Structure 1
Amino acid sequence: MKADTGWGWTFLLLAIVLELTGTVSMKYSAGFSRFWPSVLMFVFYGASFTMLNFALAYMNVSVAYAIWSGIGIILITLASFIMFHEKLPVASLLWIGLIVVGVVGLNMSVKAH
């Protein structure tokens, strides 16, 4: 693993944004019934995994994947509320909060070692 010069976090941020865009494209694809959103979904997910792969050259996989998935969950929750007017019960928001706590805790425990 290379020393983290900020590239790992840059690649991880790009992976998160591309994953969010891929998930939004998935929603717009309407079960693969719309061509361009379906194609874009594969492009964005492929690019996201590529950026995640580059991030792993600089970061531990446990931390990178937890941050990628945890922040992705938060962002897609916000996007679904804003873009698609989907509602979430308060209990769901509390469980998402626990995911955030878990990601932060994992990151802190890895830095402590």
Structure 2
Amino acid sequence: MKTYLLLLIAVMFETFGSTCLQASQQFTRFWPTVGVVLGFGAAFWFFTLVLKTLPLGITYALWSGIGIVLITLSGWLIFQQRLDAPALIGIALIIAGIAVINLFSSAGHP
């Protein structure tokens, strides 16, 4: 369970870093650029802690899937970015994939 908490923390930092990346306007704004460096730095540090327990493929699948959902929410809430029906269906399929890994795969459990 601690491993999944570390993974969630890593994804939250990655979401923060990605959100700052958008806000940095191609690294032309100082504080969002600092947020990019700190966010991604912390994200990858926590990611390495998770890799001590979970295999790389499973870890990256979960990292990517959860990250896509959180970044989509960030884009919607902060930057007023909208998604069409096919995009929402695709995100739902990603969530379904995460559920399959966690519910049915023994590879996803430390």
Q: How does the TM-score come out when normalised to structure 2?
A: 0.88
Alpha-carbon distance in structure 1 between the residues aligned to 2:107 and 2:45? 28
Matches within 5 A, 1:4-43: 6-43=1-38
Shift of 1:109: 4.5
Identical counterparts, % of pairs: 34
Structure 2 regions of 5+ residues with no counterpart?
Answer: none
| Change in 2 beyond 3 A, CA 1:8/1:112 | closer
CA shift for structure 1 position 106: 3.0
- 2:84 matched to 1:89? yes
Q: Point out where structure 1 has 5 or more consecutive residues left out of the alignment.
A: 1-5
Deviates more, 1:41-50 or 1:55-64: 55-64
Q: Deviations 1:74-99 (Å, cap 9, x if unpaired)? A: 01111111111111111101011111
Distance 1:53 1:85, change over 3 A: same
1:40-79 maps to which residues of 2 (within 5 A)? 40-79=35-74
SS at match of 1:58: coil
CA RMSD of aligned residues (A): 1.7
Which position in structure 1 is the counterpart of 2:101? Answer: 106
Normalised by the size of structure 1, how large is the TM-score?
Answer: 0.86
SS of aligned partner of 1:101: helix
CA distance in 1, matches of 2:12, 2:107: 28
Report how many residues are paired: 108
Counterparts of 1:106 and 1:91 in 2: how far apart (Å)?
23
Name the SS of the counterpart of 2:105 in structure 1: helix
Per-residue Cα deviation, 1:7-50 (whole angstroms, up to 9, x for no partner): 21121011011011001110110111101211210111011011
